[in-house]
Amino acid sequence: MKVAWLPAGLREGFRTAYSPRTISSNLPIRRAIFKASTKQFTTSTRAQGGIAAPEIKFGGDLGPDGEEAPFYARLVPESPSYFTAQPIFIDDLLTLQCLVRRYSALPTVKAGEAPRVAWRSLVEYRNMVGESVKASKYHKIVELLHRLNSIHPSLMPQDVRAALNEYKKDINPYRNDTKVIPIDNLGRALGAGKRKSSTARAWVVEGTGEVLINGKTLAEAFGRIHDRESAIWALKATDRVDKYNVWALVSGGGTTGQAEALTLAVGKALLAHEPGLKPALRRAGCVTRDPRRVERKKPGRVKARKMPTWVKR
């Protein structure tokens, strides 16, 4: 058989078989090249100090003692919660549960004697962690916070205080103290009140029961008896009508709005003279602002809510 009649591929195979050189010398050696990934092992969009997987350190980096740090081929996340759907929430829940177990033996105060704290709302917590946490899950965190907050304040550990501060609102509404109205050198206390679009300012001083409103007497300022009673209702509810004089300035709105605005102004000024009357004035409704206003008219309606009368023909 002539070699020239064979196909080109078969002739090349014969030459390789009879050649003294090895096959490995002709083939190029492919070496495995490992490339470092630039992706971070995290499911959160929030930039934070301790994420689920820290920055990857490859060979050649120096450790804290100056020696070359060992390189592990298998990357291990910082927290086991990385493999859950909500790693940051799980870490927070486990941290609070650990604190509750650690300090369960500390004495606690009664439910009504614990410091009042305004915790972050569900929306604020979602924005803080960057995860869609359900309301039922966040309720578990709030229950643990209440348990830690019930620890006696004098014995509360520092790490518990730090954990509670992370979930407190920036402004605690329970710590907003009421501003005390001062009494000037003439014995007058100034109170202000609003109702609808009316405003009132009232100066209350110890006297015999005289009332002047915009320079007019009570009967001249208000024609209706109900408005006259509303103007001095704070004094009448506490039996102080004949013990204080009132000089008031009112503006805006109608007579009913001005009279009820004057009720709030006189009540606040009376509290400056006698703070012990606050429970009685609160029961009488003299220190609470009425936020109701006239509802606006809507397009397509006769009034605020009234619809046009339907006519068949």
* pLDDT band, very low/low/confident/very high, at 158 (cuts 50, 70, 90): very high
pLDDT digits (tens, 9 = 90+) for 6-48: 676 667 766 666 555 444 444 444 444 444 444 444 554 555 5
Are the beta carbons of 310 and 304 closer than 8 angstroms? no
Are the beta carbons of 295 and 301 closer than 8 angstroms? no
pLDDT digits (tens, 9 = 90+) for 227-285: 999 999 999 999 999 999 999 999 999 999 999 999 999 999 999 999 999 999 999 99
Arithmetic mean of pLDDT, 143-165: 94
Between strands 211-213 and 216-217, the pairing is antiparallel
Arithmetic mean of pLDDT, 211-231: 95
Q: With residue 235 as reference, give the H or E element that holds it.
A: helix 233-237
* pLDDT band, very low/low/confident/very high, at 142 (cuts 50, 70, 90): very high
pLDDT of amino acid 6: 64
68 φ, ψ (degrees, to nearest 5): -70, 125
pLDDT score of 70 more than 80: no
Arithmetic mean of pLDDT, 126-146: 94
pLDDT of amino acid 149: 93
Residue whose structure tokens are 């946490």: 133
pLDDT of amino acid 178: 73
pLDDT of amino acid 20: 54
**Token reading at 15:** 């030459």
Listed by start position, the domains of the chain span: 87-173, 189-284
pLDDT score of 179 more than 70: yes
pLDDT of amino acid 225: 96
Cα-trace Rg, the chain: 40
Are the beta carbons of 160 and 151 closer than 8 angstroms? yes
Residue whose structure tokens are 């492919």: 30
- Rounded to the nearest integer, the mean pLDDT of the chain is 84
* pLDDT band, very low/low/confident/very high, at 51 (cuts 50, 70, 90): low
Check residues 101 and 42 and name the one with the higher pLDDT.
Answer: 101
pLDDT of amino acid 43: 52
* pLDDT band, very low/low/confident/very high, at 166 (cuts 50, 70, 90): very high
* pLDDT band, very low/low/confident/very high, at 127 (cuts 50, 70, 90): very high
pLDDT score of 182 more than 50: yes
Report the topology of domain 189-284: Ribosomal Protein S5; domain 2 (3.30.230)
pLDDT of amino acid 17: 60
DSSP state of 310: P
Rounded to the nearest angstrom, the gap between the alpha carbon of residue 102 and the centroid of all alpha carbons in its chain is 28
pLDDT score of 180 more than 70: yes
* pLDDT band, very low/low/confident/very high, at 170 (cuts 50, 70, 90): confident
